[in-house]
Amino acid sequence: MVKEDMMSNLFLIKKLILLSFFFTFSSYAAIENVKLPKGFKLSLYADVSGARSLALAPDGTLFVGNRGGDKVYAVLDTNKDYKADKVITLAKGLRMPNGVAFRNGNLYVAEVSRIIVFENILSNLKENATFKDLGVKFPEDGHHGWKYIAFSPEGKLIVPVGAPCNICESSEKYAGIYEVDLKTKKVTTLARGVRNTVGFDWHPETGSLWFTDNGRDMLGDDIPPEEINVLKKTGQHFGYPYCHAGTIKDPKFGDDTSCSKYSGPIHKLPAHVAPLGIQFYTGKMFPESFKNGAFIAEHGSWNRSTPDGYRITFVSTNGDKTKKSFEFLGGLLEGRRKKARPVDFEVLPDGSLLFSDDYKGKVYRITYKDPSQ
């Protein structure tokens, strides 16, 4: 009887060890059957529920926003092995805290109608960290109310406000991109006619603001194209709700206008692929052909009869013009089965690329090694 109990206990211990190994391995397993160019590799960096916008601090702390939930996170790789080993819930009970931005030691988080600030955050990485309201108000509408935020090279906080509808005429506080001066709290309109941008970045050579824009729905599977736009001067109007993708008049609001009045996109993507994050590559790990080109996260369609998107596209640039584009990361959609929905990017100091996936709640890392070496 004693011998049988010992054998049973040994069996149970072995089983627990195997299960522990399985779950440890599974937690860092990448997406199956992913498609990347030769030499590139995908690995799991972190598990973060509903991971959306990303912001990287100089010490490597990764801040992660959330649209579907109410939390904002700090992700730490304490042993510097490029696999996160700690996730801290900095705050909860927030309203769509999608956007995150880091500057001068402070973390800025965008809710629907306000920006909150976690001061000196790297010294206060703890559950339920203290924050304050920046004191700048935005509309309360939930429709396209979640925000991506980032700091301009001049140190101004850039905040978009989406249209409060699929297609409608609205006041000037909607469908635009705005600049917030942190010292004076003054809000300046940078762009109008922007239906819903959830990602932007500054071209490393020209300094121009490039942004994605999600086109309207309910005009069929293939109209209108999604847009990549460039803001070259304050006050540009990009057409919404009157013209889409530079040339397509809206059937309800575009009859009495000319699309030539508005700024058109510098690059078009297929309809409904939902481009979100855009990131210029300035790292040194990837081949030279990637330098100053843009990665674009195509989050994927929700209302197309045949799903499209669910990939990362790369677009090479020549100044404020695009040259060519190709699918950089594919294999995230098999038939109608989704395996991931890319959202946002950060480039780590070693030149590897992080991207978030709010479908599975992951942050992935892409690395490159010359296959000839």
Q: How many domains does the chain have?
A: 1
In a domain, 351, yes or no: yes
The tokens describing 182, both together, are: 């942190």
In a domain, 78, yes or no: yes
Return the DSSP state at 240: T
| Rounded Cα gap, residues 283 and 289, in angstroms | 12
Burial letters 241-262, b for 16+ CB under 10 A, else e: bbbbbbebbbeeebeeeebeeb
In a domain, 59, yes or no: yes
- For position 83, which CATH number holds? 2.120.10.30
For residue 158, pLDDT beyond 80: yes
In a domain, 27, yes or no: no
In a domain, 331, yes or no: yes
Please say whether the beta carbons of 370 and 75 come within 8 A: no
For residue 5, pLDDT beyond 70: no
The model's pTM is 0.92
Please say whether the beta carbons of 81 and 26 come within 8 A: no
Confidence label for 373 from pLDDT (cuts 50, 70 and 90)? confident
In a domain, 127, yes or no: yes
| Rounded Cα gap, residues 31 and 360, in angstroms | 10
What average pLDDT does the structure give for the chain?
A: 93
For residue 26, pLDDT beyond 80: no
Chain segment 108-129, per-residue pLDDT in tens: 999 999 999 999 999 999 999 9
| Rounded Cα gap, residues 273 and 24, in angstroms | 34
Average of per-residue pLDDT across 18-39: 64
What is residue 23's predicted lDDT score, i.e. its pLDDT?
34
Residue span of the structural domain in which 226 resides? 40-368
Backbone φ, ψ for residue 183 (5° rounding): -75, -45
In a domain, 14, yes or no: no
Confidence label for 205 from pLDDT (cuts 50, 70 and 90)? very high
Average of per-residue pLDDT across 303-311: 96
Share of the chain above pLDDT 90, in %: 91
What is residue 171's predicted lDDT score, i.e. its pLDDT?
95
SS3 label, residue 113: coil
For residue 22, pLDDT beyond 90: no
In a domain, 222, yes or no: yes
What is residue 12's predicted lDDT score, i.e. its pLDDT?
44
Average of per-residue pLDDT across 70-82: 97
Average of per-residue pLDDT across 20-34: 57
